[in-house]
Structure 1
Amino acid sequence: MEIKNLLLAFTATALAFLFNLYITPGLIHLSHKKKWYDDAEDDRKIHTGLISRLGGIGIISSLVIAATVTSLGTARLLHSSVIFRLSHHHNPLLISAGTLLIFVIGMMDDFTDIQARKKLIGQIIAALLVIAGGAGIRFFTIPFAGITLNLGWFGPLLTLLWLVGMTNAINLIDGMDGLSAGISSIASFIYGIAFLISGNIMLSIISFTLLGSLMGYLFYNFPPARIFMGDSGSLSLGFILALLPLLGSPESGTSLVMPVVMLFIPIADVLAAMLRRRRKGQHFFIPDKEHMHHKLLDMKLDARQILSIVIGQQIISGFAVLRFLMVPGPLRFIPVAIALFLVTSLFLYLHWNRHYKKN
């Protein structure tokens, strides 16, 4: 990578970090003034005390401000507007509208507690907007076989499931100080590096500004937290992290490898929840306290120890993704398989420890 690209990454990250570092104390103060706190009486919650739920506003606003400033500065430096273009496949207005809708749904839920079905309908509409805007999974590559399949009409359906699924996956795992932000920050960093390698400057700026925004948020959310991101933050994070890879390589049959590996912890947590609730005969929207962080807490680990485990796994996954992107040939799938195996092993151990060890 060129030095100017590394400077661009540093600038985008630093600006977003400083913006959110400045914005978040004001949000905390506003929450105390208006009594806008996260509901500590919910049985799923593990925190006590009066904690702001407006962190998502700081994350998204600093992302937008820093990405705009960095993009304008870079475009002026390069004497070109090409940085603002995504691809001839994409309609930026529809994609932005879908992303904004997700943020609005999250904000409404933070203040009025929307029914799960209504939230799901809103998420589907947002996903359909970005699909109409040209974002989508169009191809699938069979590992080791070198065969790429055109998904045709099945592509938009798979894209819809991917976007809605990941939006809720980050939301569901956002149950402990620093957890979802820690997972998302490492994913954003790997995204940014990957887009720099591929020469996609605009998506790289968005990824690094998201990283900076999350770092600024983590300054106040690291255990013990003074602010939570709320649904406005967690839903938006999941949607953005699911969307960016689709914009970066719409013609690639391996475009999902990076996000699947980097977000496999929340993916596995959702799959485990689906199986668990199906086994118990419960509806999927009925919450419980058997998510990954709940099981780790039951093992007498504290929040910082749990974060160390999760961040360590994310770093391993990040190395696997970078090796996949940089090394040609079928052997590049081996580090990816190892990273996925480690996460799967963790979830299987937690299930065994919860349900079988005592017996």
Structure 2
Amino acid sequence: MLFTKLFLNLLSFSLAFSIVIITIPAILRVARAKKLFDPFDDRKIHSQTVPPLGGVGIFLGFILSTIIASDGYAFSSLKYIIAAVILMFFTGLKDDLVAISARKKFVIQLFAAIILVTLGEVKITNLYGLLGFYEINFAFGTLISLFLMLAIINAFNLIDGIDGLASGLAIVASFFSGVWFFIAGYMPYAIMSFALCGSLAGFFLFNVFGHRNKLFMGDTGSLVVGIIIAILVIKFNEFNAVSNVPFAIDAAPTVSFAVVIVPLIDTLRVIVIRILRKKSPFSPDTNHIHHRLLVLFPNHLTVTLIIISANIFLIGTALFFNHLSFNVNMQFLLIFLIGVAFSFIPSKLVARLQIKEKMQLTLLRSKSAS
């Protein structure tokens, strides 16, 4: 029995990985033939034309491997999950090819989230004492669930700024979720997690090490990845609320927040900065964490690994806090504050570097004048 479960999860990962590796070269050929490239603007930090259609491979790898590997398990929510993912896929694909307004994109995201909450049973029903709430009613749970889904979807959409970052963070999130679902006995969601992990691993190779065969995940990928991660986060919280579940995590909201803390904190941070500067919260800029780190370390892979390492550290810290078993509100607050502190470190270092460079320039000018 254990061998079968291991086999199905390995099948899910390896099949998804293989599908992405096989399909991406074909996607690249089509993109080049039709000249489907990511346009340049002031915020772009790549210096070559790159197709933004990696999400097509991720979508195919995830959908096919999840359906094949989970066959034989009772997975009533799967049809609604697939429906929501398909909505995100076509929304992202249209945005990558011909652009779509932010309002229309938001409405479709909301519709997909409503399908999951009302029909797919992907909904928060317990807050573990967070802010004094334990079991919550249908209306409150629905609102929180919709908010979480929309926040996570758009956070992954916004964090997709440098090679390997969005996919790397999602690999960490899906791998962590897959391991917990597996040891806790929730095989359909473990299979789904490893399907996403395998798809992202295949894409990561092309995105980071592709050189001539490089491509971005685009909105197609970030929206698909965002909604799947949102589903995994919510189900992780719900399954941990069951009293007799093995390997239960008492402070599941804190741990799940740590899993997605980087894109969420980064999104919150840039929105606050934009508002303080009297700009639209949705106006593009270069204030993301990865933009600041690129000033210090002008290499995409280095910056990606730094941010992923910080994410893993925060997950480990949350698990350690859970082991200490102190108040869940204090755990959540501490993880939030540590995450916020981490997010501002690059900006502070860049500011110091700029001050140092200005002082050196002033000194050189004074020497040349004398």
Alignment of 1:1-359 (within 5 A): 2-39=2-39, 41-72=40-71, 75=72, 83-86=73-76, 91-133=77-119, 134-142=121-129, 148-223=134-209, 226-250=214-238, 252=240, 255-320=252-317, 327=323, 329-330=325-326, 342-354=338-350, 358=354
Larger Rg: 2
CA displacement at 1:124 relative to structure 2 = 1.2
Moved more, 92-101 or 286-295: 92-101
In 2, the alpha carbon distance for the partners of 1:335 and 1:248 equals 17
What amino acid sits opposite 2:70 in the alignment? S
**One-letter amino acid of the counterpart of residue 124, structure 2:** I
Larger deviation, residues 54-63 vs 298-307: 298-307
8 Å contact 1:182–1:307 — kept in the other structure? yes
Sort the Cα spacing of 1:300 and 1:47 in 2 relative to 1 into closer, same or farther, 3 A: same
SS at match of 1:348: helix
Q: In the TM superposition, what is the alpha-carbon distance from 1:142 to its structure 2 partner?
A: 2.5
**C-alpha spacing 1:169/1:190, structure 2 compared with 1 (3 Å):** same
1:222-256: per-residue Cα shift (whole Å, max 9, x none)?
15650100101001111110112323553655554
The CA deviation at 1:355 is 5.1
The CA distance in 2 between the partners of 1:311 and 1:229, in whole Å, is 18
Q: Quick one: structure 1 residues 313 and 140, their matched pair in 2 at CA, closer, same or farther if it must change by over 3 Å?
A: same
Q: CA, structure 1 residues 260+249, in 2 after alignment: closer, same or farther (shift >3 Å)? A: closer
Q: Deviations over 1:113-149 (max 9, x none)?
A: 1111221111111111211112211221236x99724
Paired letter, 1:103: F
- Residue 58 of structure 1 aligns to a residue whose secondary structure is helix
* Structure 2 unaligned regions, length at least 5: 242-250, 356-370
CA distance in 1, matches of 2:260, 2:329: 17
Q: Which amino acid aligns with 2:101?
A: Q
Aligned length: 343
C-alpha contact (below 8 Å) 2:271/2:282 kept by paired residues: no
CA–CA separation in structure 2 for the residues paired with 1:152 and 1:15? 38
Q: Distance in 2 between matches of 1:10 and 1:333?
A: 37
Measure the CA separation in 2 of the matches of 1:246 and 1:311: 21
Q: Percentage identity across aligned positions? A: 29
Contact 1:13 1:212 in 2 (8 A): yes
Look up the match of 1:80.
Answer: none
Change (3 A) 1:151 1:271: farther
Cα distance change of structure 1 residues 248 and 314 upon mapping to structure 2, 3 Å threshold = closer
Q: Secondary structure at the match of 1:142?
A: strand
Shift in alpha-carbon separation, 1:85–1:218, aligned structure 2, 3 A: same
* Aligned residues of 2:253 and 2:332 also touching (Cα < 8 A): no
For residue 69 of structure 2, give the secondary structure of its aligned residue in structure 1.
helix
- Cα shift at 1:298: 1.6
SS in 2 for 1:47: coil
Query: What is the root-mean-square deviation in Å for CA atoms of aligned residues?
Result: 2.8
After TM superposition, give the deviation of residue 340 of structure 1 in Å. Answer: 5.0
Please tell me the residue identity of whatever aligns with 1:172.
L
